[in-house]
Amino acid sequence: MRTASFYPPFRVLMGPGPTEVHPRVLAALARPLVSHFDPTGFRLLDEIRALLQYVFQTRNEVTFVVSGPGTAGMEACVANLVEPGDKVVVCQNGFFSGRIREMVERHGGVAVVVEEEWGRAVDPEKLEDALRRHPDAKVVAFVHAETSTGVLSDAATLAEIARRHGCLTLVDTVTSLGGVPVKVDEWGLDVVYSGSQKCLSAPPGLSPVTFSERALDAVRRRKMPVVSFFLDIQALADYWLGKPPAAGANAARVYHHTVPIPLLYAIHEALTLLREEGLENAWARHRANHSRLRDGLEAMGLTYWVRSEADRIPHLNTIRVPDGVDDAWVRRRLLEDFGIEIGAGLGPLAGRIWRVGLMGYGSHPRNVAYFLSALREVLAR
């Protein structure tokens, strides 16, 4: 069998993730490899933590990345907070909130589902009602920006309701972090996870997480050890932050696993770019490019799945497939003829919507213009 180097085709990544990455991020992947116990590597960890605290808008000490995609971050949060028998109110309004529910149940928790139509934001009154009916609930879990439907829920309000009822919050910000405001401390969020490959514009494979002191106290008071060795947040913290030995001595890093150093280089560079731009500027850029895309789609007679503009994720646009149009054929033509990748619908929305991402480095007027031109030509066929 003849072997050769692998060279992928160029794609304009405009799906639900991964997104395009800046040339500086790609270059970072090629930097010399150091050990995960090299002092230079420890400095890298510390800088990533500080950058993530800025992006999450938090002072939480336990803020770092889990080795693995957003699903690993999701499971890390569930595995550490949920013990068998714990009651968790899960606000389910799409595919990924449904995955949280499944994880809760696999870890022995009792899921109380607050059901919402796919394409609608979580109704705060429904959450309030569920917590009144289940005063023994321990955790409220919800997805801030539901990637499967393009809908954005009011995280601040949902968190306030949870706190008032004595619950911890477990929040998915995989699609929202870096694209719209996420204010962990101001909103009182307890356990939050995200992904590297969306608005942070780094390669997939890392999941930023942050744990509040309230959440860590709950983890420390667990009756039984965390089921997952790999995702044990206290063991991970002993590596990322160091474990204080005897009084007066410096914290010592405790080996947990071999972290993917090149991916850490990449997310450090991506976070540095975001810091240079400024969070508020990044949020405004995503909003402006959403408006450009929306105006172009409406001029073509296309409509959004999410009815309310206020509830739409600005950088993950869910567009109704017009009657009589073959969803898969359009996506194939965009990919093969124009090199543009967009996403299909999931679950009950399969064949009914297109998911068009304008995330991170890929949120640019040139991508908006190129996509609209290509879609117009394909639909005209």
Is the same domain home to 44 and 108? yes
Is the same domain home to 249 and 307? no
Strand partners, 47: none
Q: In this structure, is residue 4 part of a structural domain?
A: no
Residue 102 token pair: 């499944």
Q: In this structure, is residue 3 part of a structural domain?
A: no
Classify residue 214 by its DSSP letter.
H
**Residue 245 confidence class, pLDDT cut points 50, 70, 90:** low
**Residue 2 confidence class, pLDDT cut points 50, 70, 90:** confident
Q: In this structure, is residue 107 part of a structural domain?
A: yes
Q: In this structure, is residue 340 part of a structural domain?
A: yes
Which residues, including other chains, have CB under 8 Å from residue 152's CB and lie 6 or more apart? 121, 144, 145, 146, 176, 180, 311, 312, 313
Is the same domain home to 298 and 318? yes
Number of domains in the chain: 2
Is the same domain home to 219 and 298? no
DSSP 22-63: -HHHHHHTTSPP--TTSHHHHHHHHHHHHHHHHHHT---SEE
User: Pick from 258, 274, 290: which residue ends a domain?
Assistant: 274
Range of the domain at 37: 23-274
Residue type at position 315 = H
Angle at 318 between CA 194 and CA 274, to 5 degrees: 35
Is the same domain home to 195 and 321? no
Q: In this structure, is residue 2 part of a structural domain?
A: no
Is the same domain home to 158 and 93? yes
CATH code of the domain in which 327 resides: 3.90.1150.10
Is the same domain home to 150 and 293? no
pLDDT in tens, 57-114: 999 999 999 999 999 999 999 999 999 999 999 999 999 999 999 999 999 999 999 9
Whole-model pTM above 0.85? Answer: yes
Q: In this structure, is residue 6 part of a structural domain?
A: no
Q: What is the CA radius of gyration of the chain?
A: 21
Is the same domain home to 329 and 186? no
Q: In this structure, is residue 363 part of a structural domain?
A: yes
State mean pLDDT over 166-191.
98
CATH code of the domain in which 203 resides: 3.40.640.10
Residue 274 token pair: 């975001």
Is the same domain home to 117 and 132? yes
Position 132 pLDDT exceeds 80: yes
pLDDT in tens, 249-277: 567 899 999 999 999 999 999 999 999 99
